[in-house]
Amino acid sequence: MDLAVKDIRRHVGKFIATIIGVGLLLTIVLVMNGIYQGNIADGVWLIENTGTDLWVVERGRGGPFNESSRLPADAYRSVAATPGVARTGPFIAYSAQREIGGASQQFTIIGYDVFGGLGGPGRIASGNAIRAPHYEMVADDKLGLHLGESVRLGTRSYTVVGITHLAVDAGGNPLVYLSLPDAQEVLYQQDGRALVAARAAGLKRLELSGYNPEQAAKLLPLLAGATDTISAVLLRLAPGADAEAVRARIRDWLYFNVYTMDEERELMLEGRLRRMSAVLGLFRSLLVVVSIVIIALIVYVLTIEKIRSIATLKLIGAPNSVIVRLILEQSLLLTAASFVFAWSLVQLIGERFPRTLVFLPQETAVTFAVMLAGGVLASFLAIGQALRTPPQLALGG
Amino acid sequence: MPIVEVSGLNKTFGSGELAVHALRDIHFTVEAGELVALLGPSGSGKSTLLLCMSLILEPGSGRIVMNGQSVYDSGATGIDLRRFRRENIGFIFQANNLIPFLNARENISLALQLNGRSKRDATRRAQELLEYLEIGHRAESMPANLSGGEQQRVSIGRALANQPPLIFADEPTAALDTERGMRVMGLLRKIARERNSAVITVTHDQRMIEGFDSVYHMQDGRFVDAAEAAH
C-alpha cells in the first residue's frame, strides 16, 4: 500500500500549494543556471560570431572587449601586408546609451568595413546587411526597432536595414552595426558648444606655453586628439598559413598584440566574466542549499503532522522500512514535482526574461540529481524524528 | 495453556527519592478466550502494565510469557518484538487512532499487508471483517466521516485482522456514550467467545465491568481486591 500517495491525496490542495512554493524557489535556481550560462554565452557571442581568425589589438593590452584598445585606422593595411594574411578589416566597438523607442537603452555599437565583410553581422533575421557607406544600421531585435525605422544617433539619423536576433555584447546588451566612418563619427563627435570650449582651452594652453595667438591657431589642429582610430584589426588567414608565424611577425614587426579566438574567449572568461560568474555560481549554490533546507523543513512539518499515525503504524507492527518509505517518498515526490513545475515555468518565461538564459541539458540533469539527493538528505531530519517516536504515543501516554 | 503469564513484574520510573514504582511484583495469568478488565484510577499502573505486556515499554524485572513464548525474562529475550506484536497482539485504542488518510477498509487491510498478505487477499479479508462488525457499507468512508462508534468498530476490525490470540484494549469505551459503549463491550465479548482471543481491557469505566470474566483492580502499581479498591 502506497501510504505516501494516500496521505498526499488527503491533503492534495496543500501539497500542490507546497509544490508551487518550492517550485518557485527552484525556478530561481534554474533561472540562475540560465543566467550563469547565458552570461558566458553572451560574453563570448561577439568573439565567436565575428568571423575572424586573429584579433590584432594595441600592444600590451587585452582588448578589444576586456580592455580598451586603440589603433590607427590604417593599421589594417599594414597587417594585410603580412605574409599569410588573406584579408583584414578594421573593427571598432564601444558602449552607448540613447533614447530609443521612448526608453533609454544601452547597446554596443560595432563599426566595420561594410565592403570588406569582416566584422559585420553574421546572421540577419530580417532585412539585409549594410550596403551603403553611410547612414544605415543593422540592430538587434532586443532594441525593439523595425526595418525602415529611423534612429537618431548624435547629429544624424540612421535607417534600420537589417534586424539580428540574439546579437549581444558581453553584458547582454544588443548590438548595433554601423559602417566604420559612421561608428567613428558617433563616437567622436561633439556638439558645437563642447567644441568651442575645447578649442578655447587648447588655445589658452598654447598661449601659456609662449606661442602668440596666430601660432597657437595654426598649431591647434595638430594637437587635437585623433578621431580616426579603431579598436582592433580583424584578420583572416590565407589557406595553409601558419597562424603562429603570422602572429609572431605582426607582434614583432608591427608591435601589436595578437590573439586567437580561443585566447580572446579565455581573456573574456577569465577577465570580465570571472567575477560575475563567481557571484552567480555562489548565488546558485546558496539557493540550492536554501531550497534543500526549506524542503527539509516542509518534510519535517508534514511528518510531525502525522506523527500519531506513525506511532500507530509502529504499534501495529509496521517495520521501520514502511515509515522511512512513507517520508522519503513524499520528500522525493515533493522535490521532483517542484522541479517539473520550475522547469515548466522557466520554459514559459525564458523568452521574456530580460537577460539571455541558456540551459544546458547536462547541467539541468545535474541540478535535478542534486535536488533529488537534497530531497533524500532533507528527509533525514524527519526520518530521524519518526524513528525516535515511541509507539505508546498512539495510546496517548 | 495460558495466553499470557506475567510473574514478578516490576517497573520503576526515575531513581532515588524521585523514583516512582509504577508496577510492584505483578503476577497475572490470562487464558485464551478470557475477557479481562484492568480497573483502577489514573496513575494506578494499569496503562504501564498494558505497555509492558504490549512489548512497548521494557519492564524493570520479572517475566512475561505470551502464547507459550518467553518475551521478557528480566531482560530482552532476543525476539523481534515488532514482528511478535504484529503477529500476536491486536490493539484497540481509546481514541481509536485510525490512520486518517486511509479509508475504513484500507485501515484494516494495512494491518494484513504488514503481516505479509497480498493486497487482494487483504482487501477481501478486511471487507469480511467490516461485514462481521456490521459496518460493511462504510468500507470506503474515511475515518473523519465515521461516527465515534463506527471508528471504534474499524479499530476493532484492525485489531482482529491478523487473528491475534491476544487483544489489548485501552479505554475502548471512554469516548463513547453508554449505548455505544455497551455495544462495543458486547462486541469484545463476542470476539473473545467466537474467536477464542484473550481480550485485556484497561478501563476506569465502572459501567462496563459487567460481563468480564475477570476484573483486576489496580492501585499504586499492584493488584488489590475490590473492597480495598473501593476503600
A335 Cα to chain B: minimum distance (Å): 21
Categorize the per-residue pLDDT at B96 as very low, low, confident or very high, splitting at 50, 70 and 90.
Answer: low
Give pLDDT, residue A196: 76
Of B47, B91, B94, the CB nearest to A316: B91
Pull the grid cell for residue B124: 477481501
Q: Cβ distance A108 to A261 under 8 Å?
A: no
Quote the Cα angle for A212-A217-A219, to 5°.
Answer: 95
Categorize the per-residue pLDDT at A225 as very low, low, confident or very high, splitting at 50, 70 and 90.
Answer: low
Pairing of strands A103-112, A85-100: antiparallel
**Over residues A283-302, mean pLDDT:** 88
Chain A residues in contact with B119 by the CB 8 A cut-off are 1
Peptide bond between residue A64 and the one before it cis (omega within 30 degrees of 0): yes
- Does A395 contact B at CB distance below 8 Å? yes
Nearest residue on chain A to B167, alpha-carbon basis = A316
| Residue A271 C-alpha from the chain's centroid | 14
- Binary contact (A317, B142; C-beta < 8 A): no
Nearest residue on chain B to A7, alpha-carbon basis = B101
Which residue in the block uniquely carries the three cell numbers 500519531?
A: A308
**Paired strand residues for A104:** A99
**Over residues A221-242, mean pLDDT:** 81
Q: Is residue A33 scored above 60 in pLDDT?
A: yes
Rounded distance between C-alpha atoms, residue A185 and residue A155, angstroms: 9
Chain A residues in contact with B98 by the CB 8 A cut-off are 312
Of A309, A316, A390, the CB nearest to B111: A316
Rounded distance between C-alpha atoms, residue B103 and residue A106, angstroms: 63
Residues on B contacting A at a C-beta cutoff of 8 Å: 47, 50-51, 54, 56-57, 82-83, 85-87, 91, 93-95, 97-102, 106, 109-111, 113-115, 119, 142, 158, 170
Of A312, A317, A397, the CB nearest to B99: A312
Give pLDDT, residue B231: 64
Of A9, A316, A392, the CB nearest to B51: A392
Q: Return mean pLDDT, chain B.
A: 86
Pull the grid cell for residue B123: 482487501
Region at A132 (left for phi over 0; alpha for psi -120 to 50; beta for the rest): beta
- Does A103 contact B at CB distance below 8 Å? no
Q: Cβ distance A61 to A69 under 8 Å?
A: yes
Q: Cβ distance B154 to B160 under 8 Å?
A: no
pLDDT greater at residue B226 or residue A375: A375
Q: Cβ distance B217 to B36 under 8 Å?
A: no
Instruction: Tally A–B CB contacts below 8 A.
Output: 80
Q: Cβ distance A187 to A91 under 8 Å?
A: no
Chain B residues in contact with A309 by the CB 8 A cut-off are 97, 99-101
What lies within 8 Å, CB to CB, of A289 at 6+ separation is none
B190 Cα to chain A: minimum distance (Å): 22
Pull the grid cell for residue B6: 506475567
φ, ψ (nearest 5 deg) of residue B22? -80, -35
Other residues' Cβ atoms within 10 Å of the Cβ of residue A388: 7
Alpha carbons within 13 A on the beta-carbon side of A77: 3
- Binary contact (A309, B113; C-beta < 8 A): no
**Over residues B130-143, mean pLDDT:** 90
Q: Is residue B216 scored above 60 in pLDDT?
A: yes
Percent of chain A beyond pLDDT 90? 23
- Binary contact (B101, A394; C-beta < 8 A): no
- Does A316 contact B at CB distance below 8 Å? yes
Chain A residues in contact with B47 by the CB 8 A cut-off are 395, 397
Rounded distance between C-alpha atoms, residue B104 and residue A31, angstroms: 46
Q: Return mean pLDDT, chain A.
A: 86
- Does A274 contact B at CB distance below 8 Å? no
Q: Is residue A167 scored above 60 in pLDDT?
A: yes
Rounded distance between C-alpha atoms, residue B143 and residue B95, angstroms: 12
Pull the grid cell for residue A43: 560574453
B199 Cα to chain A: minimum distance (Å): 16
Chain A residues in contact with B116 by the CB 8 A cut-off are none
Q: Is residue B100 scored above 60 in pLDDT?
A: yes
Give pLDDT, residue A339: 93
- Binary contact (A395, B94; C-beta < 8 A): yes
- Does A312 contact B at CB distance below 8 Å? yes
Rounded distance between C-alpha atoms, residue A171 and residue A174, angstroms: 9
Nearest residue on chain A to B48, alpha-carbon basis = A397
Q: Is residue A190 scored above 70 in pLDDT?
A: no
φ, ψ (nearest 5 deg) of residue B87? -90, -25
- Binary contact (B93, A318; C-beta < 8 A): no
Pull the grid cell for residue A355: 537577460
Categorize the per-residue pLDDT at B108 as very low, low, confident or very high, splitting at 50, 70 and 90.
Answer: very high
Region at A328 (left for phi over 0; alpha for psi -120 to 50; beta for the rest): alpha
Lowest mean pLDDT: which of A100-104, A168-172, B72-76, B199-203? B72-76
Q: Is residue A397 scored above 50 in pLDDT?
A: no
